[in-house]
Amino acid sequence: MKAIIAGLWILAASLAAAPAAGASEGDRPEISFYHWRTVYDPGPESAKRLEQLAVRRLYLRFFEVTVDGEGHPVPQATAVFRQKPAVPVVPVIFMENRVFSQHPKTGELAGKLLKRVMDMAEQNGVELAPELHLDCDWTHSTRKAFFEFVDDLKSRLPKDWELAATLRLDQYRNYQAIGVPPAHRGVLMAYNMGSIKRPGPGNSIIDPMVVARYVTPGRRYPLPLDLALPIFSWVVVFDEYDRYQGLLSPVPAQLASPDSCLPIGGGMCVVVKPFPTAGGWPLLEGWRLRLEESSHDDLLEVAKMLRVGVSSRRLIFYHLDESLILDRSGADLEKIADQLTVIQK
């Protein structure tokens, strides 16, 4: 079975990497970043990287939408601006799927959401790019309500604005059966594609072999499609019985010491000397830790595999964080973007 999967991966990667009929060399796609922390206060290295990469827009999470005890949509995790962004901002709204399952008749939600976005921008002196970005893991059961909401929100946007909706790999591959959101453009989220809670070796953040299963050479998504890729790492924690305990980020320094965590292969180690985490909870002897990373090679391979299906010119990295920026050179990020320069007309 492993040999079959590996063969499919190689075939899909080679077909996707080859320029399709009518393809042409294009300029490097516009590079940008998500900012997902509640407080906007980037450090000096982040500012330097934005300037170095000539970032022209920043995708900043403004707030999230959840439901209250009565099932009504309510905002939470509202962004706080300690700095004024140096470039125009695309407001990103994360919407829990249960907003559309518990309160399917969204009614005035679109108008309230848009007003809140505009009020936040005005109050904080934030220049907005002409785009609104919805992040929602909609499902078959919530599709109708979500699509109606998207259609309503799109009709309320200022003239010349665009509405973007995120897609997961299964929605990208199976759009003929699942449906296409009535947005102006889509954003393919090519990360968080595996089971975090499954014990043993693996990488739930990004895995080219998983992506290969969703690639259909020559097929294009009906909407203009941007690509989002990860640049983060974390540690998945299991107890001595392989029961999932949670995630650690940033990665503890003790993982580099076999005296604290003894490597057992597959990116895993077992705790031999208990130590506390940054969050204060301890890692106990016998617990197993799995380091998951967004390696440069994996990012290059995934970008190459998806470039035929990504018809837009924007590459968004998740996310803008001082420690993550220090781990990635601007040249490395540009090399990943270079994989998307061959596009199909």
pTM of the model: 0.90
Q: What pLDDT, on a 0 to 100 scale, did the predictor assign at position 141?
A: 93
pLDDT in tens, 114-147: 999 999 999 999 999 999 999 999 999 999 999 9
pLDDT beyond 60 at 343: no
Instruction: Note if the bond before 319 is cis, omega within 30 degrees.
Output: yes
pLDDT beyond 50 at 22: no
pLDDT beyond 50 at 11: no
3-state secondary structure 29-87: CEEEEEECCCEECCCHHHHHHHHHCCCCCEEEEEEEEEECCCCCEEEECCCEECCCCCC
Task: Write down the residue that tokens 């990469």 correspond to.
Answer: 53
288 in Cβ contact with 269 (< 8 Å): yes
pLDDT beyond 90 at 23: no
In this prediction, residues 39-54 reach a mean pLDDT of: 95
Structure tokens at 289: 């830790």
3-state secondary structure of 165: strand
Q: What pLDDT, on a 0 to 100 scale, did the predictor assign at position 342?
A: 57
How would DSSP label each residue in 251-316? PPGGGG-TTTEEEEETTEEEESS-EE-TTSPEEPTT-EEEEE---HHHHHHHHHHHTTT--SSEEE
Residue of higher predicted confidence among 18 and 304: 304
pLDDT beyond 50 at 20: no
